[in-house]
Amino acid sequence: MARQKKYHFGDLKASLVETASIMIEDEGIENITMRSLSKKLGVSRTAAYRHFQDKTALLKAVAEDTFNRLRLYIRDESENIGDPLEQFRVISHAYVEFAMRNPAKYRQMFGREVASEPRVPELGQAAWNAFTVLMEVIHKCHRDGVFKGGDTYDLANVAWATVHGLSLLLIDGQIRTSEDGRRLPALLVNGNSKPSRNVLQIVDTTIRVLVEGFKEEKN
């Protein structure tokens, strides 16, 4: 008979988070239970509960991990770009791309379970670290006179709200195309419409409008 794999303290906790993350994308968050996770990993539920008191605690750890992955992704895609305005564009693109590649986990990052009490400091820090990447590039645009004066945090919130909303609309197929190729509001179209495939153009247009609103006006 095959021997059951032995996990050290840190190994099992990380494995629970990794397995839950995969299950969210493959099976849906509603199908995750401590029992199903334990079964997949070949450990007892008691062992799993030593690391997470319930499913909500586990999901907060998954969200923390996803925020960390998001931060690394948008940073790695943009860190070698010298022009801050181009860096801002690349970060915005990368954010939407990350969301669309990980739709279920992206939703889970902002889900009800994640926002519930008690708050988890590590999760809040991971979210802030990801947001800081955006704040830093906006600060550079301020420094170089590309963006108008104003509070960096406020502009970063506007930028994040824009790409976040766009990401959800694209994930849900809410930006749709009619048979003649025109993009139409999803709630106003009939059954002949389909989700728009020209995602790159939609993202480009959104970012261009955002940048124009942020730019410093030249006299």
Residue 2 confidence (pLDDT) above 50: no
Its CATH class, for the domain covering 1-52, is: mainly alpha
Query: pLDDT digit string (tens) for 170-190?
Result: 888 877 765 565 655 555 555
Query: pLDDT digit string (tens) for 114-171?
Result: 888 888 899 999 999 999 999 999 999 999 999 987 889 999 999 999 999 999 988 8
Answer CATH for 55-214 from 3.40.50.2300, 1.10.3470.10, 1.10.3720.10, 1.10.357.10: 1.10.357.10
Task: Dump the DSSP string for the chain.
Answer: -PPPPP--HHHHHHHHHHHHHHHHHHH-GGG--HHHHHHHHT--HHHHHTT-SSHHHHHHHHHHHHHHHHHHHHHHHHTT---HHHHHHHHHHHHHHHHHHSHHHHHHHTSHHHHSSSP-HHHHHHHHHHHHHHHHHHHHHHHTT-BPSS-HHHHHHHHHHHHHHHHHHHHTT-EEE-TTS-EEEGGG--TT-EE-S-HHHHHHHHHHHHHHHHBPPP-
